[in-house]
Amino acid sequence: MTAVPPAQLARTAGPSAGMTRFIRPILSEYFVLVLCVLYVAAIYPFVPEIVTWGVWSNILSDMMPLLVVAIGQTFVLIVAGIDLSVTAIISMAAVVGASVMTGNGGYLGGSALAVPVAVLAMLIVGLGIGAINGLSVVKLNMPPFIVTLATRMFVAGAAIWYVTFHSTSSSIAGLPDAFTGFATGSLAGLPYTVIVAGLIAVAAHMLLSRTRYGRWIYAVGANPKAARVSGIPVERTILMTFLISGACASVAAMMYASRMQTGSPIAGENILLDVIGAVVIGGTSLFGGKGKIVWTVFGVLFLLILDTSMKLLGASLFAIYIIKGSVILLAAMMDTLRNRILTER
Amino acid sequence: MKLGSRALLLILQNAPYLLFIVLLVVFGLMSDRFLALANFRNIIIQAAPIAILAIGMTFVLLTAQIDLSVGGSMYLTASVLALYLTGIPWPIGLAAVLVLAGAIGAVNGFVVTRFGIASFIVTLATLFILRGIAMYLSNTRTLMFEDQILTLNRATVLGIPSAIFAFLVVFAIAWVVLHQTPFGRQVYAVGGDPEAARKAGLPVSRIVFACFVIAGLCAGIGGFVSITQIGAVGPKYGDQIEFAAIAAAVLGGVSLFGGRGSVSGTVFGAILIKSVQNGLNIINADPYIYPLVTAAIIFLAVAIDGLRTRIIERLERRTIRPLAAE
């Protein structure tokens, strides 16, 4: 056993050539993208519309808010945290923003400053709740799951209450055109929402892969003790991920509010499990240390293609639930398989 | 200084109980109806379903796993009961519900232990699937139950209301299993350090599997009790209830990282949450602030727990290095 060169060891232990050809796509980080393409090809005979521009522009516009939230969630998951409060942040930011800029008696209704101030207020809501989450985790030593569960309950309740002070109905309507234009307008053929989400994705990708802060995030997620010993400001790193997640949720709130033309306290109420599911389908680990923005993009894309194709097929809600659940389970199994093969190599 | 820390620790250790006493005093001062004996009975009746659910959740949490599917399990078993198990005596219906709920727990446990997938993902997926199947079976209609099930709500056993009786039975069994049997000690061992438990020769996978089955069974019983109380189920039935069950367990001192907690703590957590809601109801509080107050209390209890852990760490550090600089 002493003189076997590592290369030879690898060859004898590794799978055969045919096996390698079969498993290479599974091991590739573009696996979920491959899955998307295969799925579209498989479903095409049943719903040819799946490759039309109309359907894809729908997929894109549905995808953007989800993607932005999922990007924020990716950061938190990489440091082995979780942010269950994102949907509540979306609701709160939407109603606070709407209360500032609505033409029906908003704080700045009709003023030229209405939209910029409202956007700022929405960001502050997200950053503020993110800060509460992050500080509770690092300063009060609380598990992220419980912290964000509690803030979610609190903020979601507060958002519904907040509306009662500003509107007689259950949401705040009358948003100015300058704001709703965010959902409808486009620049050089690209919708504003796609541009904003794209910029956020690129920035998040750069932050994670090209900066020192990005390396800190992975290090903290993989092993917080080792990270602390090597001088990484662990607490600040974790706090930052929650701030990022909060800010991302605020941006998603802008997308939802401008598309629905109202500030609704139940905007995005049902997307929490979709968001976490999409990130995990992409391959980001719930146990920290592993994850990429590109993976998250693919994960969200896959979930939306699935959702859209089901709707095109005329599947009822129950079928969508069952299939979504099965796909999440299947993706997790694939991921386990992939890890097993990777560690055996 | 050291004495001060120890006194603080003692207070923090019993913080949930102190919190409960404070609540009793506050609500008691605001309304004399709150502290009436009949009201306590009401609180426990209202808390029974969630307490039963949370007792099952405790087993899963003790092994450092999580079960998000309990609400889906409740909805599916309730739908099956309303659609297919009619015209037979209710105990047979309940038995069938338990078999189904236990089987759902077994599926969760099997996938988690056999494939090594995070239980968060497995049970998230089964939550979707179970709700989907239940919607399919019920056509997303609201389902009504037979009179024999509805009258159970008013029934008593030995003078004890049926919901409280069911809760006491589950609590007693769970307490004995967890604190008086080798299996209970193994659950704590697996949650405390799975690697050490494995090296000590414990069948870790089998223990985790059993805990998922227990959580499934408790979801079945808790669901049945809540059916007798509300009489009909719709697509929103059991929605997000997994979070309430987890919150009750955590409020009672169960750690999400396994190995720490008890069923009595969990029951206390469930009763604490329901007392808050009952108290707010009695003092005629604005319904909008219910979730706010509940969330704030959960937050407070867990924050105090985090503080306690930190103080224990500091105390232990001192005994290791007695000569360290001030």
Task: Please report which confidence band the pLDDT of residue B255 belongs to, taking 50, 70 and 90 as the band edges.
Answer: confident
Size of interface A-B (CB pairs under 8 A): 131
Lowest mean pLDDT among A9-18, A247-256, A283-292, B76-85: A9-18
Contact between chains at B303 and A142 (C-beta distance less than 8 A): yes
Assign B69 to helix, strand or coil. Answer: coil
Could A154 and B288 be called an inter-chain contact, meaning their C-beta atoms sit closer than 8 Å?
Answer: no
Count CB-CB contacts under 10 A for residue B118: 18
Q: What is the pTM of this model?
A: 0.85
Q: Give the CB-side neighbour count of residue B83, counting CA atoms within 13 A.
A: 17
The shortest C-alpha distance from A49 to chain B (Å) reads 26
User: Domain ranges in chain A?
Assistant: 20-344
Looking up tokens 């598990």, which residue turns up?
A143
- Across residues B81-109, what is the average pLDDT? 89
Is there a domain that residue B305 lies in? yes
- Of chain B residues 236-295, which have a CB less than 8 A from chain A? 243, 246-247, 250, 256-257, 286, 288-292, 294-295
Residue B193 corresponds to which amino acid? Answer: D
The answer for residues whose C-beta is within 8 angstroms of residue A59's C-beta and 6 or more apart is A301, A304, A305, A308
What are the residues facing B160 on neighbouring strands? B157
Tens of pLDDT, residue by residue over A93-131, are: 999 999 988 877 777 777 778 888 999 999 999 999 999
Question: Residue A307: is its pLDDT beyond 80?
Answer: yes
Closest chain B residue to A280 measured between Cα atoms?
B121
Please check whether residue B20 lies inside any domain of the structure: no
Q: Which residue of B has its CA nearest to A154?
A: B292
Rounded to a whole number, what is the distance in Å from the CA of A127 to chain B's nearest CA?
19
Task: Judge whether B13 lies within some domain.
Answer: no
Check CB contact under 8 Å for A140 and B307.
Answer: yes
Residue B16 located in a structural domain:
no
Does residue B18 fall inside a structural domain? no
Place A91 in a pLDDT band, splitting at 50, 70 and 90. very high
Q: What is the pLDDT of residues A271-292, one digit of tens each?
A: 888 898 889 888 888 888 888 9
Determine, for residues B122 and A332 on separate chains, whether the beta-carbon distance falls below 8 Å. yes
A 271-290 residues with CB < 8 A to B = 273, 276-277, 280, 286-287
Termini Cα distance of chain B:
12
* Number of folded domains that form chain B: 1
Cα(A246)–Cα(A266) distance, integer angstroms: 17
Q: Which residues of B touch A141 (CB under 8 A)?
A: 306-307, 309-310
Domain region containing B237: 41-312
Q: Which two tokens stand for residue B204?
A: 């870790």
Cβ count within 10 A of residue B284: 9
CA pair distance B276, B169, nearest whole angstrom: 24
Helix axes B263-282, B15-30, angle to 10 degrees: 20
Domain-embedded: residue B209: yes
- Tell me if B318 is assigned to some domain: no
**Residue A341 touches chain B, beta carbons under 8 Å:** no
What's the pLDDT tens digit per position in A168-181? 888 888 888 888 88
Evaluate whether A167 touches A173 at the Cβ level (below 8 Å): yes
Contact B128 A318 (CB under 8 A): no
Using pLDDT thresholds of 50, 70 and 90, give the confidence band for residue B3.
low
Most confident of A69-73, A169-173, A272-276, B264-268: A69-73
CA nearest to B138 within chain A? A318
For residue B322, pLDDT over 90 is answered with no
Of B213, B298, B292, B219, the closest CA to residue B251 belongs to: B298
- CATH classification at residue B303: 1.10.3470
Chain CA centroid to CA A178, Å: 26
- CB pair distance less than 8 Å for A141 and B306: yes
Please state, for a pLDDT cut of 70, what percent of chain A lies above it: 92
In a domain, B326, yes or no: no
What is the dotted CATH code of the domain comprising A20-344? 1.10.3470
| Residue whose C-alpha is closest to residue B43's, from B265, B290, B280, B241 | B280
Interface membership of B311 toward A (CB under 8 Å)? no
B168 part of contact set with chain A, CB < 8 Å:
no
The more confident residue out of B306 and A139 is A139
How many other CB atoms are found less than 10 A from the CB of residue A72?
31
Amino acid at B196: A
Q: Are the beta carbons of A332 and B290 separated by less than 8 Å?
A: no
Distance CA A18, CA A21 (A): 5
- DSSP for B170-198, written as a single string: HHHHHHHHHHHSHHHHHHHHHHH-HHHHH
Phi, psi dihedrals of residue B192, rounded to the nearest 5°: -65, -45
ipTM confidence: 0.81
Two tokens at B215?
């959580």
